[in-house]
């Protein structure tokens, strides 16, 4: 067996154009949660669990790694002030969508809606899938 000592040349990964990039499910769910208004991490977790009817539960590690990446990418921003009379020393950090985050979320929602349309045309879903009742929003978390 011959083993080469030559350095391997790493192939450059193509840079994804933001217009064609597909978001991870966690990032899209966080964007959905923040599309209804500003929130803190725990509020985002509750919102995602609510609108997925408990089918998706983001763990704290996934949530905060995703939030950190989203901050770096400019999809969300951290608010400087506490919300709803919370003290300044409250450890909760609050986030909101940026214009870029909203545009990316809208683009992803359209992409998913287009896929659902194809699934309906190909009889994978009924023309009007039976909607499950949504859980009411919990007041006072924002």
DSSP annotation of 36 reads T
How far is it between the farthest Cα atoms of the chain?
Answer: 70
Closest among 50, 34, 12, 24 to 99, alpha carbons compared = 34
Number of helical H runs and strand E runs in the chain: 4, 3
Q: Quick one: residue 47, left, alpha or beta (phi over 0 = left, psi -120 to 50 = alpha)?
A: alpha
Walk along the chain (142 residues) and give the pLDDT tens digit of each residue.
444 444 544 444 444 555 446 689 999 999 999 999 999 999 999 999 999 999 998 999 999 999 999 999 999 999 986 556 555 556 789 999 999 999 999 999 999 999 999 999 999 998 765 555 444 444 444 4
pLDDT for residue 141 = 44
Q: What is the pLDDT of residue 46?
A: 95
pLDDT at 134: 47
Which pTM does this prediction carry?
0.71
pLDDT at 87: 56
Q: Which residue, among 33, 16, 36, has the nearest Cα to 67 in the 3D structure?
A: 33
Give the separation between CA 82 and CA 85, rounded to whole angstroms. 7
**Backbone phi and psi for residue 67, each to the nearest 5 degrees, phi listed first:** -60, -45
- Helix (H), strand (E), coil (C) string for 67-87: HHHHHHHCCEEECCCCCCCCC
Nearest CA-CA partner of 102 in 135, 69, 72, 77: 77
What pLDDT is stored for residue 90 in this prediction?
61
Closest CA to 64 of 108, 30, 107: 30
């Amino acid at each position: 067996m011959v083993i080469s000592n030559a350095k391997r040349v790493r192939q450059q990964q193509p840079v994804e154009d933001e217009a064609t990039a597909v978001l991870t499910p966690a990032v899209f769910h966080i964007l959905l949660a923040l599309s209804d208004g500003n929130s803190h991490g725990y509020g985002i977790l509750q919102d995602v669990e609510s609108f997925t009817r408990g089918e998706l539960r983001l763990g704290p590690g996934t949530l905060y790694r995703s939030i950190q990446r989203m901050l770096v990418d400019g999809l969300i921003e951290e608010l400087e002030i506490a919300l709803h009379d919370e003290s300044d020393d409250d450890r909760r950090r609050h986030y909101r969508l940026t214009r870029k985050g909203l545009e990316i979320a809208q683009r992803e929602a359209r992409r998913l809606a287009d896929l659902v349309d194809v699934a309906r045309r190909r009889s994978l879903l009924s023309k009007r899938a039976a909607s499950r009742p949504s859980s009411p929003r919990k007041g006072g978390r924002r």
